[in-house]
Structure 1
Amino acid sequence: MRRIWLMVCLLLAGLSARAQNLDSLVRRAMASPHRGPHDTILVAGIVIGHDTLPYIGLPEVVITAEMPKALRKRLEEWTRLRNAVYVTYPYARAASRILREAEAQLAAMPDKKSRKAYIKKKEAELRATFGPQIENLSVYQGRILIKLIYRETGTSCYDIIKEMKGGFSARFWQTIAFFFGSNLKSTYDTQEDRDIEAIVQEIQHNPYYRYY
């Protein structure tokens, strides 16, 4: 009986492979009460020319090799730099905008007292707006921020402080920065800092990235 049923199934599969859904046919055959435990295992099939061939889909297997040490180190450095640029670039943009506004306001103030009061007021606003975030930056992120400020303003942080607060303040903060491994006189060069530049270009072409 099992042989007769198997022949019937194969005949039906050959005659109706083009007209019926193969998956539906397989499900009906598998559910038949006439199918025994030793019958042929039914699988999906494909028709090539006049032949019906079994088709078994295998799960995807991804074969990977261990990344070379030099490449892994380079990837880690790039990831660290990219994270630092994404975190600090908004502050560099804000610094550029605020500096332009401050320069315009200071140019219209003839006396030193008014300029000093304006700078003090602006400092208080900056501390309230950006103080907590900037204080949480790492030393590495701080170095990247100094470079990005130069990129956006065309002026080093040292010269900005010197212009706004005087030479003594600039030298004082430069000394502090030196002890933390930074340099307020750091400049920016699109060739020497090409990795930073590439990430900035990525940010500028990212429609979902928002900065100040």
Structure 2
Amino acid sequence: MRLTGTYKTFLLLIAIAFLSSKNQQVFAQQRGLNDTIPTFAVIYEGDTIEAKTLQILLLRSHYDEAHMNANAKWTRLRNAIYVTYPYAKR
């Protein structure tokens, strides 16, 4: 099998590209002195998730006890109607 001039040139260029690329080192990131932020992480079902401690949140209702009782009664009545309505429709 004889190699043609074009084929020899192509192989020579591939060899030069391969050999020249071996001398270069490639880094994904360069870390500086102040580039890292330490954080806590948790592994949950194979995923790494950042763990944070949240502040306590206090909630206060604007409704008084009588209004909340009336709302609970209304909710119970509404749910009872939802349950009995299909039977009353027949």
TM-score by length of 1: 0.19
Higher relative contact order (CA 8 A, sep 6+): 1
